[in-house]
Structure 1
Amino acid sequence: MTTSLVEFSDYEANGLRLQLAGPPDDLAPYLSAYYRTEVEEGVEIEDWLPPEEANLRTGSATVYKAAIGGDAVIDVPPGVISGPTDRVTYLRIGGGKFWGIGLTPAGWARFIRLPASDMANRITDIAGSAAHGSLQAMLDALREDGDDVQASARLINETFRALPGNGLDSESAIRAVHLGFLSEDASSVASIAEMAGMKPRTFERFCKRHFGFAPSALLRRQRFLRSLGKYMLDPSMRWIGSLDTHYWDQAHFIREFRATMNMKPSEFAALPHPISGAAVRLTSMRAGVTMQALYHPDRSRN
């Protein structure tokens, strides 16, 4: 087992500190990132997070509220499983410390082992979930004593390495489909299904079980995130300059933006994005992509 130090990228401004690291090579197919967020006492921030893959999160704060899509704002439990999303997550936090761990689709299948569609667009208390008990213990430890990021990263590595996960027959197929959706050349569901060697109805069931959504929704999410990530990395550019090549025109993008983020692009641009903006910059530095859901599971972590 590796005992080398984990390299965390660090962003700090206006009472917010975000630290982000990638997993070691053996866990990179299953985990996309480890991230530590701190908000100073007396500071309260809001953000509107783009769609993402599943996460494990834990934290303690004076304010910790969230809502997915058009759902009501709720108080977030101390330790949660957040399923994959295809719409905006509103977040309001203040005076607290948080840890998060991003899961790839293969990581969800290997470690959580529930149909991803059952948890899509949901935030669930890990204490009432079917997740492995050691994951809850890990989140409890990170919440109670997570200030040492190196010790915390070792705990995360050790916890996931100890989980049972051998013999997952669908893992190679999940990886192939994941890479298919990540490809900027993928222009249709049919082309990805053909690449995966699946008939359309089988492919639909496969995607819902392992990725949370129908393949058409996943394809829309990826082109949307490529466009939004490019814009957020350089907000000085006009929206038209960030559009993915698979959009027919700007009106097509605006319709999908409103359906995904519950607002127009101009409204989003006018809002503060302290967490998501910092995450885009750090993720781009660490993994070469702007969004967690664009993370390439074969990317070297060195």
Structure 2
Amino acid sequence: MVKPNDNPAAVSLRFFTPCEVLRPYLTTIYRLTTIAPIADPVADLLHPEWANVRFVTGDPAIAAIGGEPRRTMPRAIMAGPSSRATYFACGTMRAWGVGLLPTGWQRFVATPADAYADRLINLVEVTALRPLARIAEAIGDDTDSEEVTLTRIEGQLLALLADAPREDPLVWRAHAALVDDSVASVAEWGARIGVSPRTLERISTRAFGFAPKLLLRRQRFLRSLARFMLNPQMQWTHTIDHRYCDQPQFVRDFARFMGMGAREYAALPHPILEAAARARMAHAGAAMQGLHAPVAPSRSA
């Protein structure tokens, strides 16, 4: 059960825009600080999103995706692209995170994204993810200034990028079309980028982690949820995306992606997500990672 924490200042979250070279591959780099007794942790139910790598110092986090059992997380973790809610709880800790766009997955991870979809993985235990674990070296014991640590994290990522596979321009084009709410069907999505349904399916599972139909369904759901997170006093009927045929369709999607009803979710505290939605919106122009519009990669990438 997600419970409120008595300390209103228990959560601090800061987002950083990646350097220009990394911007086509990352949403943001961020630092989360929480202060709470481990017996009464800060807890939240995180919405579906793209992949993240996180590096924790202090109390270890407790997490689970969907209906999986909650477990203690390793210090360096990959949260794969998700289509289900993630329970996340922590005591007193500091964590650096890097949000990977589908273009970033294609450049930084050698394995197709669907192999890690809806999974939480120890970075050091999987060969294909182990290069990203080197970011931990840039963080150390997390006692340096945020600016110094940020520069070192970017340095590690730039080094990995130098040895990464070449750019696949279809991944960026597919993502740019996905975040365009005028694209309402798989057929329209494929036509927009000039590929067959079979090719779109291949791109989607390899770089995005899911089939095209589920990605479009997730996108309209996130647009609806983002409106609520920015204004929790708003009624659900006013947040529903225009791509929904009716309210029952939205209700079914809510249950599919969050594992509960909209009213039940609204009644829960959201100390991490509410802080993240406002800070991310102010910093990056999108309340959720899954709503970030991708930056076109350089032709020389």
TM over 0.5, shorter chain: yes
Matches of 1:224 and 1:195 in 2, distance apart? 21
Change (3 A) 1:188 1:104: same
Partner of 1:3: none
Matches of 1:159 and 1:129 in 2, distance apart? 18
The within-5 A match list for 1:69-218 is 69-131=66-128, 133-142=130-139, 144-165=141-162, 168=165, 171-218=168-215
Instruction: Find the residue that maps to 1:113 and give its secondary structure.
Output: coil
How many angstroms does 1:96 deviate by?
1.0
Matches of 1:247 and 1:78 in 2, distance apart? 40
Number of aligned pairs?
289
Identify the match of residue 286 of structure 1 among 259, 277, 283: 283
How many angstroms does 1:131 deviate by?
3.9
8 Å contact 2:80–2:116 — kept in the other structure?
A: yes
Q: Normalising to structure 2: TM-score of the pair?
A: 0.91
Partner of 2:295: 298
Change (3 A) 1:166 1:39: closer
8 Å contact 2:79–2:121 — kept in the other structure?
A: yes
8 Å contact 1:47–1:275 — kept in the other structure?
A: yes
Which is worse superposed, 155-164 or 260-269? 155-164
Q: Normalising to structure 1: TM-score of the pair?
A: 0.90
Change (3 A) 1:125 1:166: closer
**Greater share of residues in strand:** 1
Matches of 1:206 and 1:133 in 2, distance apart? 23
Partner of 2:34: 39
8 Å contact 2:66–2:259 — kept in the other structure?
A: yes
Identity over aligned pairs, percent: 37
The within-5 A match list for 1:235-274 is 235-274=232-271
Partner of 2:3: none
Instruction: State whether structure 2 residue 17 is matched by structure 1 residue 22.
Output: yes
Give the gaps of 5 or more residues in structure 1: 1-11
Tell me the alpha carbon deviations over residues 173-208 of structure 1, each in whole angstroms, 9 at most, x when there is no partner.
000000010001111111111122221122112210
Which is worse superposed, 18-27 or 172-181? 18-27
Give the gaps of 5 or more residues in structure 2: 1-6, 297-301
8 Å contact 2:58–2:92 — kept in the other structure?
A: yes
Matches of 1:213 and 1:133 in 2, distance apart? 23
RMSD: 2.0
How many angstroms does 1:62 deviate by?
2.8
Matches of 2:137 and 2:192 in 1, distance apart? 41
Which structure 1 residue ranges, 4+ long, deviate > 6 Å from structure 2?
A: none
